[in-house]
Amino acid sequence: MNEIVIGHISEFPERAGRVVRLGDVELALFKLSDGSVRAVENRCPHKNGKLSEGIVCDHHVYCPLHDWKIDLHDGLVQAPDEGCVAAYTTLVDGAGNVVLRVPEGIGARKVS
């Protein structure tokens, strides 16, 4: 696993999406109200809505297109809908840096 510093925790507004690209995959990162940061693939499995533009409530994001509810801990779509998106491990280190853990060989660049 590679660890990539995405930014400082102070750069992440609470409950707002931030976009990061990993090769061909676009991720949505969210700072939750408890100060943790979660990362999921930036597309709803229903109609590919940009989750980074969704509304965050507790540890879920609601797709902006059709209001599908997705758990930011594991990427699972909540009932009655079905599906999932890839979820990635993040942590905030002692210096306040947001670190994203990704498979070997994948680089990242900040989009917004």
Question: What is the rounded CA–CA span in Å between residue 28 and residue 53?
Answer: 9
For the segment 14-25, what is each residue's pLDDT rounded down to a tens digit? Answer: 888 999 988 788
Question: What is the rounded CA–CA span in Å between residue 109 and residue 71?
Answer: 24
Q: What is the 3-state secondary structure (H, E, C) of 53-79?
A: HCEEECCEEECCCCCCEEECCCCEECC
Q: Which domain holds residue 82?
A: 2-110
CATH number, domain at 99? Answer: 2.102.10.10
Query: By three-state DSSP, how is residue 85 classified?
Result: coil
For the segment 49-75, what is each residue's pLDDT rounded down to a tens digit? Answer: 999 999 999 999 999 999 999 999 999
Could you give the number of structural domains in the chain? 1
Q: State in Å, rounded, how far the first CA of the chain is from the last one.
A: 24
pTM of the model: 0.86
